[in-house]
Amino acid sequence: MQWTEIFGYLGALLTLTTFSMKTMVHLRMAGIVANLAFITYGLLGPVYPVLLLHLALLPLNLWRLRQLLRLTRQIEALTGSQLSMDWLKPFSRHRAVRAGETLFRRGDAAEEVLFVLGGRFRAVEADVAVGQGEVIGELGLLNREHRRTQTVVCEQSGTLLCVTYDEVRQMYYQNPRFGFFFLELVAERLMRDVQRTARPAS
């Protein structure tokens, strides 16, 4: 067997290995090594279609790996620390909301978490105000039917950061420690709501 064929088989084996990866970080790493093996194979062959394909795929895999590692570091830095929304901005969409607009009603299908960047909102049934830096809709991810637990209206025009539940799940699978961060977020919300609605004993 020639060295050229060895690099080809190595690239094929590594590509096959990526299908068994459980995390995106390891998948990208294996993909990068496979790209390098196929590039070597394409150069020695020479097999130009293979060479051109993996020359195109290598920077894409490197870019995606860089994104994932950056997200992982940001999540790890946030775990157990003060909550911040800045790290979510590259992975979300902005939504402008006008005063008087109803975001959703109690019982509606829930599909995304909303982070308040500006403005003022109100959870109608609980009569709780929600302002900048707070979160709306995270409980819908946890209940089995994925339904909204409150009707939320906009009292003062503002901006929301929207992250779908699918994206939340993907971030969890990429780094399971994100699950603890999300639980901290939900626990903080529940404790805050309890404190707001609690009444002193008579």
Same domain as 116, residue 55: no
Q: What is 119-167 written as a DSSP string?
A: EEEEETTTTEEE-TT-EESTHHHHSTT-B-SS-EEEEEEEEEEEEEHHH
DSSP code of 96?
A: E
Q: How confident is the model at residue 89 (pLDDT cuts 50, 70, 90)?
A: low
Q: At what angle do helices 165-174 and 24-44 cross, to 10 degrees?
A: 70
Is residue 202 in a domain? no
Q: Which domain holds residue 58?
A: 3-78
Position 81 scores a pLDDT of 46
Mean pLDDT in residue range 110-128:
87
Higher-confidence residue: 81 or 162?
162
DSSP bridge partners of 162: 93, 114
Is residue 23 in a domain? yes
Distant-in-sequence, close-in-space partners of 146: CB < 8 Å, separation ≥ 6: 109, 110, 111, 140, 165
H helical segments located in 45-119: 48-78
Is residue 182 in a domain? yes
Mean pLDDT in residue range 117-134:
86
> CB atoms < 10 A from the CB of 18, how many?
16
What's the domain count of the chain?
A: 2
- Domain end position, chosen among 37, 61, 78: 78
Mean pLDDT in residue range 92-111:
89
Mean pLDDT in residue range 19-27:
76
* Helix H or strand E segment including 92: none
CATH number at residue 98: 2.60.120.10
Higher-confidence residue: 37 or 80?
37
Position 59 scores a pLDDT of 92
Same domain as 163, residue 116: yes
Q: What is the pLDDT of residues 32-62, one digit of tens each?
A: 999 998 899 888 888 888 889 999 999 998 9
Is residue 157 scored above 90 in pLDDT? yes
Is residue 107 scored above 50 in pLDDT? yes
Q: How confident is the model at residue 152 (pLDDT cuts 50, 70, 90)?
A: very high
Q: How confident is the model at residue 69 (pLDDT cuts 50, 70, 90)?
A: confident
Same domain as 63, residue 98: no
Six-digit token string for 191: 């404790």
Share of residues in the chain with pLDDT > 70 (%): 76
Higher-confidence residue: 86 or 134?
134
Same domain as 112, residue 29: no
- Domain end position, chosen among 78, 104, 134: 78
Same domain as 179, residue 155: yes
How far is residue 116's CA from residue 159's CA, in Å, rounded to a whole number? 6
Cα torsion 32, 172, 116, 188: sign: negative
Same domain as 140, residue 70: no
Same domain as 141, residue 74: no
Q: What backbone torsions phi and psi does residue 83 show, to the nearest 5 degrees? A: -70, 140
Contact 157, 99 (CB under 8 A): yes
Share of residues in the chain with pLDDT > 90 (%): 15
HSE-up (13 A, CA, CB side) for residue 70: 12
Contact 57, 35 (CB under 8 A): yes
How far is residue 62's CA from residue 129's CA, in Å, rounded to a whole number? 43
